Every structure is written in structure tokens, then in C-alpha cells.
Amino acid sequence: MIERYTRPRMGKLWSEESRFRYMLQVEVFALKALTERGVVPQGVADEVEREATINVARIAEIEAVTRHDVIAFVTSVTENLSEKAQQWTHWGLTSSDVLDTALGMQMRDAADLLLAGVDGLLDVIEHRAREAKDMVCVGRSHGIHGEPISFGLKFASWYSEMERARVRLARVRDRVAVGAVSGAMGSFAHLAPDVEADICRMAGLLAEPISTQVIPRDRHADFLQTIALIGAGLERIAVEVRHLQRTEVLEAEEGFVKGQKGSSAMPHKRNPIGSENISGLARILRGNALAGLENVALWHERDISHSSVERVVLPDSCILLDYMLARMAHILGNLGLFPDQMQKNLDLTGGLVYSQRVLLALSEAGAPRDEAYQWVQRNAMEAWQERGSFKKRLQKDPEISHWLPQVVLDKCFEPDYYLRHVDEIYRRVFGRV
């Protein structure tokens, strides 16, 4: 992933050096397990753990000759060690034993960073939800004004989705935290299952129940799809922010700092660039998830068609989601809210947003529902076409006034009516008001 979208900790975790360090850990764990069984001489595991070093340039130099990355890795990390260390390192292992087990550790640790990012975003969303709880705005469906709502419900909805995202991510974190040390065909021909169990225990992983030299790639596809789904949730937030920042709406606005410029040509521009950035990056995550699905079907016990794909999509997806979570937390934490504009937009249609309340009041008063619907709709359409007051039209309509006295009609146009269950919704989402 390009540096622009790479945060330090996640970038370091997916660096080439880090990848080789995970692989070296697997080699050391294998030596320790075999030492306990009297296969590897005492002291070899300690020597490799203590003295083996990672030299990315040297590994690349060797691979240019061997055309095999794991052989290059093993040769490099042991070439300055004792003959015994060179003799026993990688004993009984096949490349995928090391690669897949190391990758399981890597994905697990990446998931932990992503979980921390989700937690940080949840904190920000909850804070803003409480701040906006009593702000009244117009709700919209199909882009058209519907009825009054609390602006805080937007945040509450995002919070609930991100909570589900956290559950999914924690679940898939455990699904990818597996290792496999089952040999060239996955049949434990040279190392017994109990050796695998010990290696995985030392690595903090579960052992894959059955591997075919490689860990089945449905796990990795699940990981990528979970990341893509979280990205889609972030895009849902981003799209709403983009709509709310439109000049004609302007109920919310991304933070705009001193010295920032929105356009090279138009000095007045203040654009929702952060949210647009997230919308774009979410598309990459979805594409990467599709690539993960393509990796599930491999030939026989294995081929390496998945390998080149994973070297791109796994680091990139983790790095991008890490960046997106942090950026969205910043966007929402600095999001400007404009209650006066919310009220202005709420009043824009001359009270049409209260039409359902009027219809229900007519039904409660005993008016025939179909006829009541026609009376309300007729007045609503005329008020909309003439940009007049819906309430005044209703007051002058004899069929409406016959059923609804003025005091009842006035209550139909009170926005607080629509917020009376907000506390209960907040209890459902946050566990408290």
C-alpha cells in the first residue's frame, strides 16, 4: 500500500521484515518442539532464537538465485550460525507450514489493531450521539423529506452497525488465528500432529483441523469479506456526511482548518474530501474481498495461485481499513453540526412533514381513513405546489376542521412528538440514555 494511506503500526506489521520475523518465530517454535522430543540437539533452538537475524536485502539476493523465497529465507537466517543450526532449522517442515502459520499470526495481530481502531471510532460516535440527541432535524427517504427525527439517531445507527462490525471482526480474528504444520501433503508424514499442536500453542494459534499442505482459503476470504463489510459501513457514514454537507442541505460539515483550501480554482469551496476518500477506499476493499473468494479453489492439495494475490490484498486491506477507521474517527470527532440549518430545512416544506400525524389524528377522531387520506393529500399537494403553509390550508378546509379542532391540529405540528421514544432507542443502542 502507498505511504499516503499507511499508518505506522499497521504498516510495520505488514512489512517484509515483519513477515520474515513471523516466519522465524515459527522456525524457532518448531525447533523447540522437536528439542523436547529429542529429535533436535539441545541448544540449537536457543541459538537460532538468539542469534538469527533478518536481512531483507540478503534474502532478496539469495532468492534471485534460488527463485524460492522460503529457501532464501532459511539460508539467510542461518548462514552465520553453527553447522548444527543450519542442519536442523526447517527440519521436517514444508514451506507452507512456515508461511501459513506465520500468516495466521500476522492476520491475528492485524485484527487486534483493527479492533482497537473500531473501539476508538465507537467512542467518538457515542460522544457525538449524546451531543446531538436533542437536535431536531428532518428525516429523509428517497432523498425526500419525511418526518422529524433526532439528529442523534444518525449517530446511534452508525454506532450499532460498528458494534456489529466489532463482533464480526472479533469472530473472524479467531477464525484466521490458526496454524498448520502438517507437511507436504497435509498428512503428517514426517512430523506428528502433537508437534503441530505444540508449535501452534507457542504461536498463540489453534491448529487447523485438516490442512492440505495449506490452510483452506475460506478463512482468508472470510477475513477479507469482514474487512470489506466494515468498509461498507464506513462508506454508509461517509455518504451521509457528503449529502449533509451539500450547499442546499448544510446540516453538517467536515472540519475545515486554518490554511486549508478546497479548490485550486474556487476560493470559496469547502469540500467533504475525507468522506469522499473513504467512499473510494471502500471500493478497493470490496475488490480485494472478491480476490479472496477467487483464492478459495486451489488445485488438488495446493497450488500457489493464491500466494501472489494474498501478498497484495491482505496487507492492503488491513492497512486501508486501519487508515479508514482512524480517518472516520477524526471526521466525526470534528464534524460541525448546524441546528439552526436543521430547523430551517425542517420548515422548508411549510409543515408537510407532519402529514402522517394529521392523518392519524383524523382516524382517531373517527374520519373514514381513505377519505381522510385524500383530504390530507389534496392539501399537501396544493401547499407543495404553491410553497404555502400546510397547516393554514388544513385550517381552512371544512372537511378537516369538521373532525379536528384547532387545539388538536396544533398538536399535530409539534416536533417533540416525534422524539418521545429517543431515550428508549438510546437505551437499546448504548445500554443507557
Model confidence at 162, pLDDT cuts 50, 70, 90, reads very high
Where residue 336 sits, what CATH number does that domain have?
1.20.200.10
- Integer Cα distance of 153 and 132 in angstroms: 8
Same domain, 257 and 406: no
Cell numbers that stand for 114 in this block: 483493527
Same domain, 204 and 283: yes
pLDDT one-digit tens code per residue, 177-211: 999 999 999 999 999 999 999 999 999 999 999 99
Least confident segment among 137-151, 264-278, 312-326: 264-278
263 a catalytic residue: yes
Into how many domains does the chain fold? 3
pLDDT one-digit tens code per residue, 22-73: 999 999 999 999 999 999 999 999 999 999 999 999 999 999 999 999 999 9
Same domain, 87 and 167: no
Residue 426 has what pLDDT?
A: 98
In a domain, 425, yes or no: no
Same domain, 293 and 161: yes
- Integer Cα distance of 104 and 94 in angstroms: 16
In a domain, 118, yes or no: yes
Q: Percentage of the chain with pLDDT > 90?
A: 95
Catalytic residue among 142, 268, 300, 421: 142
In a domain, 424, yes or no: no
Where residue 56 sits, what CATH number does that domain have?
1.10.275.10
Q: Which long-range contacts (CB under 8 A, 24 or more apart) does 227-230 make?
A: 227/114, 227/285, 227/288, 227/289, 227/317, 227/318, 227/321, 228/282, 228/285, 228/286, 228/288, 228/289, 228/317, 229/165, 229/168, 230/114, 230/118, 230/162, 230/165, 230/168, 230/169, 230/321, 230/325
127 a catalytic residue: no
- DSSP-assigned beta bridge partners for residue 253: 336
Give the residue from 343, 362, 390 where a domain finishes: 343
Distances (CA, A) of 253 to 69, 81, 127, 256: 49, 60, 17, 8
In a domain, 423, yes or no: no
* Of 148, 259, 173, 203, residue with least CA distance to 24: 203
Cell numbers that stand for 373 in this block: 387520506
Same domain, 280 and 301: yes
Same domain, 185 and 311: yes
Same domain, 165 and 271: yes
The model carries a pTM of 0.95
Where residue 405 sits, what CATH number does that domain have?
1.10.40.30
Q: Contact 387/350 with Cβ under 8 angstroms?
A: yes
Geometric angle at alpha carbon 25, from 21 and 26, rounded to 5°: 120
Give the residue from 91, 117, 135 where a domain finishes: 91
Same domain, 244 and 158: yes
Cell numbers that stand for 306 in this block: 493464491
In a domain, 432, yes or no: no
Same domain, 28 and 111: no
Residue 432 has what pLDDT?
A: 86
Identify residue 69 by its one-letter amino acid code: D
Please state the rounded mean pLDDT for residues 3-11.
97
Residue 258 has what pLDDT?
A: 86
In a domain, 374, yes or no: yes
Catalytic residue among 263, 305, 308, 389: 263
Same domain, 277 and 382: no
Same domain, 322 and 362: no
Give the residue from 91, 119, 138 where a domain finishes: 91
In a domain, 427, yes or no: no
Q: Percentage of the chain with pLDDT > 70?
A: 100
Q: Which domain holds residue 361?
A: 352-412
Same domain, 273 and 187: yes
In a domain, 363, yes or no: yes
- Integer Cα distance of 409 and 44 in angstroms: 87
pLDDT one-digit tens code per residue, 60-80: 999 999 999 999 999 999 999
pLDDT one-digit tens code per residue, 408-431: 999 999 999 999 999 999 999 999
